[in-house]
Amino acid sequence: KSYLPASLCFISLFIGLKLILL
């Protein structure tokens, strides 16, 4: 559904998790 690479999605998710834990 999204044309963005899986790596970018994973990085975005990781950053989001970091912000939540921060």
List % helix, strand, coil for the chain (3-state, nearest 5). Answer: 75, 0, 25
- Which backbone phi and psi does 18 adopt, to 5 degrees? -60, -45
Give the pLDDT confidence score for residue 19 in this predicted structure: 96
| Tens-digit pLDDT profile for residues 1-22 | 567 688 898 999 999 999 999 8
Give the pLDDT confidence score for residue 5 in this predicted structure: 82
How many angstroms separate the CA atoms of 11 and 17, rounded?
10
- Put simply, whether the predicted model's pTM sits higher than 0.75 gets the answer no
Give the pLDDT confidence score for residue 2 in this predicted structure: 65
